Structure 1
């Protein structure tokens, strides 16, 4: 799996965390979710954490899997 890049986050004074991907808003976290996110970013790889929290971590073989013969009848 390729390593995600292009993510950034901003922590606002009110505790809200804004996550952006290539300068476009990807997620807004508030309250307990924002606190969990910040703790996780400090303890791990920030790019991977932000990709997982925004749902942008599924890169690679999704297109090929969709074209597989057993999956062609599904949307």
Structure 2
């Protein structure tokens, strides 16, 4: 499965604005912005970090949930 892609971030003053395919996904301020920038500086995968921060990432249970009786026929 391919990893997350299409994320970008911009530091504006004390804020970090994260976009996904050119649309604003979230804005980090204060401690969250500091932690994000520290993780990026540590060399962590930026796309993965931004996907996790925005909540836009696969959790690994999509196939299982699709087969659940409540979701059949959708």
TM-score w.r.t. structure 1 length? 0.80
**Number of equivalent positions:** 70
CA RMSD of aligned residues (A): 1.8
Aligned residue runs from structure 1 range 42-53, under 5 A: 42-43=41-42, 44-53=44-53
TM-score w.r.t. structure 2 length? 0.81
Deviations 1:22-51, CA, capped at 9 Å, x for gaps: 001111100011000111112211111111
Q: How far has the Cα of 1:67 moved from its partner? A: 2.5
The structure with the largest strand share of the pair is 2
- Tell me which stretches of 4 or more aligned residues in structure 1 moved more than 4 Å: none
Q: Counterpart of 1:73 in 2: which secondary structure?
A: helix
Unaligned runs of 5+ in 2: none
